[in-house]
Amino acid sequence: MSAPVVPYSPLRAGLSDGAAVMSRNLLKLKHQPGQIAATFAFPLVSVVLFGYVFGSAIPIPGGGNYREYLMPGLFVMGSVFGIMGSLTVIAKDNGLGVMDRFRSMPMARSAVPFGQTAADLVVAAGSLLVMAACGLLFGWRAHNGVAATLGAFGLLLLLQYAVSWVGVFLGSMVKNEETAARLGPLVMPVTMISNVFVPTAGMPDVLRTIADWNPVSAATVACRQLFGNPGLPTGELAWPLANPVLATVGWSVLLLAIFIPLSVRRFRTAGL
């Protein structure tokens, strides 16, 4: 009388389970109009706050509109803040015992991290579009044609995907949502010690070195380059800023190479 469960092949199980976990996460958004509103509000508030408050006082090297200078950095910030999504969801599932149920089921254990990061990617693509629309509203433009523009968005999504895996791993290490929420503010300095808001050239040496090698800076320069926005660094440059696209891809691949195996291993063996 028990309905027989036909074992799926590992590949089919992985794909099917990943899709189920992904749709679970996307389904949640449907019930949380507040979260969607927040997704819209973040770029709007950032552009107004940083664009008009800072923009009135910060000169752009080589001249230009500060809001055009700012938008690529805000895109990158949005990608990096994506870490909070996977971090909180995974931590919450841990706290509620959902992870235990998943682990007691015949599903592929790696489906949780892969499905989660895939859902994050879909959400990130959506919020990137909203952010771009906000930017257009406040005078930001992409000047270098469709290919370069899509290239920049692709780069942003790659970075966000890599960061999302960091979030999955950290989320699987903490006990509950409260702990995860406390980790949130730590993301702030990572995005601030960079060239998102001001050029690194004026920073004290140590800080400048950190900022120059911060993946956020490389990604920001890469986007400025690809969108044709003002304020590209000039003169003697650190390697990541001289090769921003390559550096961003490199950083992302490095994060993925570290955190995918770590996360998958964690989901296989946690609690054993």
Partner 1 sequence: MAAPPGDAVVVAEGVHKRFGSTPALAGLDLTVPAGMVYGLLGPNGAGKSTAVRVFATLTRPDEGTAIVAGHDVVREPAAVRRKIGLAGQHAALDEQLTGRENLRVFGRLFHLGTAAARRRADELLERFDLAHAADRLVRTYSGGLRRRLDLISSLIVSPAVLFLDEPTTGLDPRSRNEIWDAIRGLVADGTTVLLTTQYLDEADQLAQNIAVIDTGRVIASGTPDDLKARIGGRIDVVIAAGCDLSGAAGALARVADSAVPPDIDPDRRLLSVPVGDGTVALPDIVRGLDQAGVEAVDVGIRRPTLDEVFLTLTGKPAENAPDSAPTVAEVLR
In the complex, the residues that contact partner 1 under the rule CB under 8 A are 1-3, 5-8, 13, 16-17, 19-21, 23-24, 27-28, 31-32, 93, 96-98, 100-107, 111, 271-272
Q: Which residue number, 56 or 104, has a Cβ lying nearer to partner 1?
A: 104
Question: Which token pair is 99?
Answer: 């992870």
CB of residue 179 to partner 1, shortest distance in Å: 17
Least Å distance between CB 96 and partner 1? 5
Closer CB to partner 1, 93 or 212, in the complex: 93
CA–CA separation, 217 and 190 (whole Å): 10
| CB nearer partner 1, residue 1 or residue 147 | 1
- CA-to-CA separations, 246 to 81, 219, 227, 240, in angstroms, rounded: 22, 9, 16, 8
Which residue, 177 or 212, is less far from partner 1 as judged by CB? Answer: 177
d(CA 39, CA 52): 20
CB of residue 102 to partner 1, shortest distance in Å: 7
- Cα angle value 99/102/106 (rounded, 5°): 155
Q: How far is the CB of 26 from partner 1 (least distance, A)?
A: 11
The distance from CA 164 to its chain's CA centroid, rounded to whole angstroms, is 6
CA-CA-CA-CA dihedral for 101, 103, 105, 111, to nearest 10: 110
Cα–Cα distance for residue pair 163/263, rounded to 1 Å: 12
Question: Nearer to partner 1 by C-beta: 97 or 204?
Answer: 97
Minimum CB distance to partner 1, residue 100 (Å) = 6
